Amino acid sequence: MAGLFPRSLVVCLALAGLAGCAGDDEAAPEPLSRPVRVFVVEGGEVDAVRSFPGKVDASQRAELAFRVSGKLQEVLVKEGDLVAEGQVLAKLDPADYALVLEDRQAKYDNTARNYKRARELVADGNISRLDFDRMEAEFRSATAALSQARKDLEYTVMTAPFRGRIAQRDVENFEEVLAKQTVMWLQNIDQLDISINLPESVVRSVRGGVQKTGVGGPGHTNPAVRATAQFEGRTDQTFELTPKEVATKADPQTQTFRATFTMAAPTNFTVLPGMTATVLMDLSELVTMESVKWVPARAVQADSGLEPRVWVLDPTTMTVSAREVAIGRMSGSMIEIVDGLSGGEEIVAVGAPYLAQGMKVTRMAETEQAIPRAGDPS
C-alpha cells in the first residue's frame, strides 16, 4: 500500500504539469519584434552624388524629305557620310516639273501681255472696268502659278540644312518617293544631348540658377547642379554637362521626369547617337542649403498631443524612436518635412501606427504587407 502512494503522486504531478503546459500555450507571448517597411530620407551625404543611366542623341537632327513626289534620279550620299551645309544629297527626275514650268511660263507671258494692253485701254475708256479686273486677276493667278512651278522644280534637289552626318538612308536610286516621305536622317554630332529620367525629389533641384522670389533677397539664385557624364570603357574621363530642358509632366508609367543635358562631342573617341552614358549629378550644395525633405505621408503620425512625428530606425539596435517634425505641403502620396530630419535617416513608412518607443522591429520583405495584430489600435 505504501508502495502505491508514490506512483499515484507521480501521476498527479504529471497531469498537473500537462495542464500547466496547456495553460502556457494559451498565453504564449507575442513576437519580440514587428516587421515594418522603411524609407530612406533623401538629402543626406549618401545622396550628395547621384548617378543615372542616360541615352545619347544628337543635339541637332532632322528627318529629310522631298517636298514633291517623283522618281529618285540620284542619291549622292551613303550612311555615315559627313556632309556640309548646303551640300546636295539627292535629286528627283525633274522632267515632269520642267514641263509644268514651261507651260506656266507660256501662260504667264500671255496674261502679262494682255494685262499690259488692258491698262492702256482702260485709261482711255476703250474697255470696261470689269474686263480690266478680269485680266488683272488672270495675270496675278498666272504669276503665282509660275512661282509655284519654279519652286517645285527647285524642290527636286535635296540639300543639307546644316553640317552633320547621314545617320540613316531608306531609299535607293530609281525608287518612287512621295512628298514628305522621310528619305534620310541627318544628325549634327558636334553637340550631343544626354537624356535621363529623374525622380520628383531631384527635379526640384535640376533647375539651378532660377531666381526665387523672397528667398535670400532680390537677385538671389539657387546653387547650380553640377552634372557630368561618363562613357563605358572611358570611366577615367568625365565631361561637363549643361542643363538643356526638363519635362514638367511625369511619365505615366514610371512617374519620373525626362531631363536633357548637352555637351560637346569628345574628340579622342567616338560617341554616336543611341549609345549609353552614366550621368553623375553633384547635389552637395543643395543638400547643405535645402532643408525640405519629402517622405511618404503615411510615415507621419500624430502623438498624444496631435503633433506630427515619425519613427526613426536605429539600424544598430533595430529599435525605433519617435522624432517630432514640422510638415508642409502635400504632393500626391508624399508630404514635405521642413524641419526635424537632416537626410539619410531610415524612417518607418509602413507599420508606423503600431509602434512604441524603443520597440524592436525587422525590415519587411518587399512582397510582405503590414497586417495589424489582434488588439492593435486602429
CATH number at residue 234: 2.40.30.170
Residue 47: the pLDDT is: 54
In a shared domain, residues 276 and 316: no
Co-location of 281 and 201 in the same domain: yes
Based on its alpha-carbon atoms, the radius of gyration of the chain, rounded to whole angstroms, reads: 39
Spell out the long-range contacts of 115-122 with Cβ–Cβ below 8 A and sequence spacing 24 or more: 115/139
Give a yes or no: residue 64 inside a domain.
no
Asked which of 287, 313, 333 is the last residue of a domain, the reply is 287
SS3 assignment, position 365: coil
Provide the number of structural domains found in the chain: 3
Spell out the residues 6+ positions from residue 269 whose beta carbon is closer than 8 angstroms to its own: 231, 234
CA 244-246-252 angle, 5° bins: 150
Q: Please report whether residue 88 resides in a domain.
A: no
CATH code of the domain covering residue 331: 2.40.420.20
Measured between alpha carbons, how far is 36 from 353 in angstroms, rounded to an integer?
11
Integer Cα distance of 17 and 10 in angstroms: 10
For residue 227, how many other CB atoms are within 10 A of its CB? 26
CATH number at residue 99: 1.10.287.470
Closest CA to 220 of 136, 167, 170, 289: 289
Residue whose cell numbers read 543626406: 44
Euclidean distance between CA atoms 155 and 295, whole angstroms: 58
pTM given for the model: 0.55
Q: Report the candidate in 349, 342, 344 with the shortest Cα–Cα distance to residue 311.
A: 349
Q: Is 319 domain-assigned?
A: yes
Q: Which three-class secondary structure state does DSSP give residue 299? A: helix
Same domain, 329 and 311: yes
207 and 273 together in one domain: yes
Rounded Cα–Cα distance for residues 246 and 52 (Å) = 15
pLDDT by residue for the chain (378 residues), tens only, comes to 444 445 543 444 344 444 444 445 555 555 568 899 999 887 655 456 788 999 999 989 999 999 999 999 999 999 999 999 999 999 999 999 999 999 999 999 999 999 999 988 888 778 889 999 999 999 999 999 999 999 999 999 999 999 999 999 999 889 999 999 999 999 988 899 999 998 876 776 555 433 333 334 444 445 567 889 999 888 888 999 998 888 889 888 888 899 999 999 998 888 888 899 999 988 766 555 555 678 899 999 888 888 899 999 998 999 999 999 988 888 778 888 888 887 778 999 988 888 889 999 998 876 544 445 555 554
pLDDT at 19: 45
Report yes or no on 134 lying in a domain.
yes
Give the range of the structural domain holding residue 127, as residue numbers without chain letter: 94-155
Distance CA 36, CA 350 (A): 6
Residue at grid coordinates 486602429: 378
